[in-house]
Amino acid sequence: MFTHAQLVTLYRSLRENRVLSVYIDGSTTDPAALRPWRVPLDHALKDLRVWLADSSNHERETFERCVHVLEQRLAEFSASLGAPGWVAFINSDESCLAHQVPVPVPTLAVWSAGPCLAPYMRVLKETRPVIVTVADARKAELYRYWLGKLTHVETVRAHHVVEGPSHMGASPRQGFHTGTRGETGHDAAQRALLEGRDRMLAEAAHRIAELAGEDSWILLGGTRRVCARLSRHLAPIAPHRVLALTTFDVHSSEAEITEAARAGASTLRDAFDANRLADIVELAGAAGVGVVGAVDTRWALDRASVRDLYVTRHYLDERAAEAEDAVRSALDQDASVEEVSGSAAKQLDRAGGIAAGLRFRPATVEVAIAV
């Protein structure tokens, strides 16, 4: 599966080549069909052959060679694809980059100059890892959730040092018990436990921040009081990327933690997108570094001023050619691209289905808005 950087490299390396891009929905199930994705794929390839009917013999032959490579790769699957989706990019030199993807994608085939990348945006959003922590006062278990798999990374433990309590400024004599007119043994032990817990949480927060880097989501579960303290440590380090959940705790199985990580990442992503889009809408209204809608976003893309591009699934499906052009242009200028979902998608669809945060605001965009 490609990261954003790898997708940019792929696009730039193949932009001048004829490429057969194939996306297959592997989530479709039909008990009566051995390969339920085969029929829609055949229809897509047939449509391409009709579209190429008036093209040169060389191009039609190149296309058929790419289809032959595709069929060789698909022969590996006797029934299902073994994943929610599958993607292949087959170059005119018959080289093929193909892999399973963890989310369903629409079944389609595209023959174009350069790879068709817009449908890959729903895949790209799944590449952001999630750092999951399950903590109580004794330890913090750190996991990484990525591409549907949960991996245990390490355990951060609390180490308590309990010293004998002071006794009137000197060592206790025979006939006295520890704690007389000083700190009791129980109080000293409790203080040491709390200090050990706090040291453990500080160390855990440091490790979580290291693992999360600049973009990973962070999910916290376990004892509520401990999670609240850990969240306070992390909030300044990773603003808008931390979420404490009550859906899993120290007794949860790895399967339960995995499901909580999947749902929690979706919640964080939707909230992050909604906040970012609200900022862009406000900036667009104030003629700042944000634009909303197809016309203004296209102007910004044409002037290489886009920092991050946001599109909805509806826009990708209903305006596929424009979406593809926008995604390619964004990748060309090293902008991030995000397919938004949830409440953010509903908000953006009302505004045209596409928006962008800008590095700077071209004067031409201001003219377009004024008109």
Q: Which of 144, 121, 145 is nearest to 2 (CA)?
A: 121
pLDDT digits (tens, 9 = 90+) for 32-65: 566 788 999 999 999 999 999 999 999 999 999 9
Would you say 352 and 292 are in contact if contact means Cβ atoms under 8 Å apart?
A: yes
Kind plus residue range of the DSSP H or E element containing 349: helix 342-350
**What pLDDT score does 172 carry?**
56
CA dihedral 331, 293, 119, 320 (to 10 degrees): -110
Cα distance from N-terminal residue to C-terminal residue, the chain: 43
**What pLDDT score does 286 carry?**
85
In whole angstroms, give the CA distance from residue 299 to residue 291.
Answer: 9
Give mean pLDDT, residues 339-353: 91
Q: Which of 310, 321, 319 is nearest to 357 (CA)?
A: 310
Q: Which pTM value belongs to this model?
A: 0.77
**What pLDDT score does 31 carry?**
55
pLDDT digits (tens, 9 = 90+) for 138-161: 999 999 998 888 999 999 998 755
Percent of the chain whose predicted confidence (pLDDT) is above 90:
60
Q: Which of 53, 147, 48, 123 is nearest to 90 (CA)?
A: 48
**What pLDDT score does 167 carry?**
52
**What pLDDT score does 82 carry?**
83
In whole angstroms, give the CA distance from residue 274 to residue 327.
Answer: 20
pLDDT digits (tens, 9 = 90+) for 243-261: 999 888 899 999 999 999 9
pLDDT above 70: residue 188: no
What's the distance, CA 27 to chain centroid?
A: 20
Give mean pLDDT, residues 82-91: 93
Residue 191: pLDDT band with limits 50, 70, 90: low
**What pLDDT score does 30 carry?**
63
**What pLDDT score does 316 carry?**
93
Alpha helices (H) in 87-155, listed in sequence order: 121-124
What domains can you pick out in the chain, each with its CATH number? 4-117 (3.30.960.10), 128-252 (3.30.420.60), 271-370 (3.30.1330.30)
